[in-house]
Amino acid sequence: MKRLELTIDGQKTTALAGTKILDILDIEDFSYSSNPIVAAKANGMLVSLQESIEGNTTIETVRLISPLGKRVYRKTLCFLLCYASALIAPERTLIIGHSLGDGYYFRYRNGEKPDTKRLEEVMNKAISDSLPIEIAELTHGEALEYAISHGLNETAELLKTINASSYRFAKLGSCYEMYYEPMLPTVKPLGLWELKEYQDGLLLRYPQSRSPYTLMPFSDNPLLFSVFKENKAYARILGISSVGELNSKARSGEISKTILLSEALHRRRISDISRAIKAKGTVKAVFIAGPSSSGKTTFSLRLSDELRVDGFDPVKISLDDYYLPSSEVPVDEDGEKDYEVLEALNLPLLRKQLTALIAGESVHLAEFSFKDRTTIFRKESVKLAENSILVIEGIHGLNPQLIPEMKAENAFRIYISALTVVNLDTRSRISTTDNRILRRMVRDYRTRGFDALDTLSRWPSVERGEKNHIFPFQNNADVMINSSLEYELGVLKTYAVPLLRSVGKEHGDSYATARRLLDELEFFNPIPPEFVPGDSLLREFIGGSVYGAI
């Protein structure tokens, strides 16, 4: 057998072709507390330690306490829960839902109450027994038969809409799951988690980045859960809860009608918010906040349209127009300009202008030149009429320190985010982060000339800003709205795939993320963008919006 040349974390060695990475590394301690090696990057691609080496390879080990390692940990933890459920209740189907705080929400298909104590016992037994997770190859027929016989309807639907002779599955005991991304080679490192009964299902909680060796106290978010529940109801109306069902719509020629219905449901939700603002009766300013690529700009414009229908004269203000000059922007811990903090805004100017407007004065609103990074003032002044209402959009819109003197009765606060409700299959979800990365990548390439590497390399900084300055204030919202559209990833695929393919192996974690996103998009049938209405929020990212260049 051929002997291969390997470089492992910078050290040269050799191994026989066909040897598993796990055997090459010879890991002695897989306990959680040891921060073990949980995966590897082989020539830049994130792979399981169960993968075999077939050629000369550069290997970088991935530790548990790292961005990629934590993803591997969480994915394996979900598989372990599904294994436990299949063992104690094979007649039930456990379906993964959305993320909620520091956990994933699961429910049984028919609403049965989960036996969390029994599930915990089986999971802990598997961990103490160090059960291995293997990679198995199933033919199309075998995979489809397994999915149907085990009640994995969403998985079966997906298999019916993709063309491959065989598929890779993860195998734990007698439990199989489609293999979308690397998992641990054994469940032994899964040493920190909690099952918690929640609503009509359960939460599988895991450690957060800020506290990797302890579980933080549970912090509920009932408003966010209600938004997910509402959008699951919309998905049932559309007949789309998984990628397989979306693909079926695309293949049958029904997708144009599905898109129109999806947009109609979204339009109704925006209209409901406008009516809630009117019903409050005392609102002078609407504040809209949300993370990157949540669609704040188009949403604010569409809400303004609805407010006009309800008799208001909306005046739109973007917080982006109130940035300080670069020389005055605070720096972060790395010495870089931090444009995500509240203090990066010219707060005295913003507060002065808003106070003057509400007092009935004429104001020349600020406008920020991103080219020169200076503030200019609009030539035409603005004065609020009796029916005027301010629509203020920006990432700090829900921070009470933005306009501390604003009375509660005069403000209406909206939190918007792209909360993906379509699953890959029964047991695998699509993260809201992935959805937003793809949106931002497509938009930034179109409007700013940034390539995929720019977007991916900047994303960790974006996430840090969101965790510090946006997510802590989401519960200050009067309402939340989901901007994600059930069909959008099928449209984004056409734009995103060539961008992702441009990311090279030399680009580290960005390459691993690009490959994962490409693998994810591979399961979507493309949807023609011409079916997307001109006022759709999706147009903010793919272009062609009736609202012009946004």
Residue 409: CB atoms within 10 Å: 11
- Give me the CATH number covering residue 515: 3.40.50.300
Crossing angle of helices 432-448 and 508-521, rounded to 10°: 110
User: What was the pLDDT predicted at 116?
Assistant: 97
Task: Please list the residues that pair with 16 across neighbouring strands.
Answer: 3
CB within 8 A of 33, min separation 6: which ones?
A: 191, 213
Sheet holding 37-42, edge to edge: 11-16, 3-8, 57-63, 37-42, 45-47
Q: Are residues 9 and 96 in the same domain?
A: no
φ/ψ (deg, to 5) at 314: -75, 140
User: What was the pLDDT predicted at 548?
Assistant: 85
Residue 217 falls inside a structural domain? no
Query: With 90 as the cut, is the pLDDT of residue 334 above it?
Result: no
Percent of the residues in the chain that have a pLDDT greater than 90, as a whole number = 88
Amino acid at 118: R
Q: Are residues 165 and 292 in the same domain?
A: no
The model's confidence at residue 337, banded by pLDDT at 50, 70 and 90, is confident
53-100 per-position pLDDT tens digit:
999 999 999 999 999 999 999 999 999 999 999 999 999 999 999 999
Distance CA 70, CA 180 (A): 16
Mean per-residue pLDDT, 158-186: 96
User: What was the pLDDT predicted at 448?
Assistant: 87
| Torsion (CA) 194, 197, 200, 201 in degrees, nearest 10 | 20
Domain boundary among 141, 173, 205: 205
Least confident of 75-89, 275-289, 363-377, 395-409: 363-377
Strands 388-393 and 313-318: parallel
Task: Write out the residue range of the structural domain in which residue 30 sits.
Answer: 3-64
User: What was the pLDDT predicted at 434?
Assistant: 97
What average pLDDT does the chain have? 95
User: What was the pLDDT predicted at 332?
Assistant: 82
Quick one: tokens of 124? 């802990």
Sign of CA dihedral 402, 404, 406, 411: positive
User: What is the domain count for the chain?
Assistant: 3
φ/ψ (deg, to 5) at 179: -95, 95
Residue 489 falls inside a structural domain? yes
pTM of the model: 0.93
User: What was the pLDDT predicted at 209?
Assistant: 85
Distance CA 163, CA 532 (A): 26
Q: Are residues 446 and 515 in the same domain?
A: yes
Strands 94-99 and 103-108: antiparallel
The model's confidence at residue 490, banded by pLDDT at 50, 70 and 90, is very high
Query: With 80 as the cut, is the pLDDT of residue 422 above it?
Result: yes
Residue 215 falls inside a structural domain? no
Sheet holding 103-108, edge to edge: 94-99, 103-108, 201-205, 194-198
User: What was the pLDDT predicted at 421?
Assistant: 87
